[in-house]
Structure 1
């Protein structure tokens, strides 16, 4: 059996939690590592991303405004972020199966289970709230039903929506919200709020 790296060091005397844990990890030969998120088969498939990308095919590259798509299970409003390169991130507002949803689709998977996100428009902003990272790590969900509705209401009257988050994948994204109000009205009618 090899001698522990810190055999001569008493790890329990180290004050810093992080350094103490690193000492014990090295002593035991178990270096710290992160376990990648394990997504279920349906989440790997990412139905939300597939659905939105299917709606977005045929969009003129110069058109960055929100557009509405109707389907059997409800309706979806989506727009790509301004000044984003493909694959684009999207802001999505929907009423699917009579449930309102507010989601961000990141261009690349986010390595977190939750992110604090705040949306800012000219008239106000949503509170910074934890959004759940779902599916393959690309879908950030503000909450379904009332939590989503409360945040969607804060976007009414905005001409631009900016995303604030410490995560660089989504923090700083900006969306063109001109013409969004009547589309939110359609979501309100469909989901009856």
Structure 2
């Protein structure tokens, strides 16, 4: 394999192994075996299991969301929920995320990395989705971005990752309305009145 192919294979193997056994039982030997490379190939790129996990997981979690500007808050929420539901339902994510959150409670380095990645994602959602809705007049100007993001992301994460309850289209539609209402969204973007007809 070429150098880039080896790195890609290691990252893929790490995610698969992490989902299979969790961080506590994860070993460089098992990742190397799954990737079809030597342990040396891994240690040339990462100094330790922790370094490998943090870099690969942070890169995966930090991927930018696709453009979510549909023109309305409800449209943006609907698209965001579809994207998040798809990501959270992925077998790797559904097994890795709860395990790493539990590990973060015991490992300050993992906790710091996850918090940094989550804060960046929160700023992305708050700065773009919420900011656009405020500028369009759909949300109050004093909308708290932190509270808004918790309200947007929290219910879906709880349902999929914690309660492990199926997410249907009707549930997502109801969630859009509930979140929009909870944020104090207007039913529609206010329009400027047209000038009176002189005739």
Q: Which has the higher contact order (CA 8 A, sep 6+)?
A: 2
TM-score, normalising length from structure 1?
0.25
Q: Which has the higher strand share?
A: 1
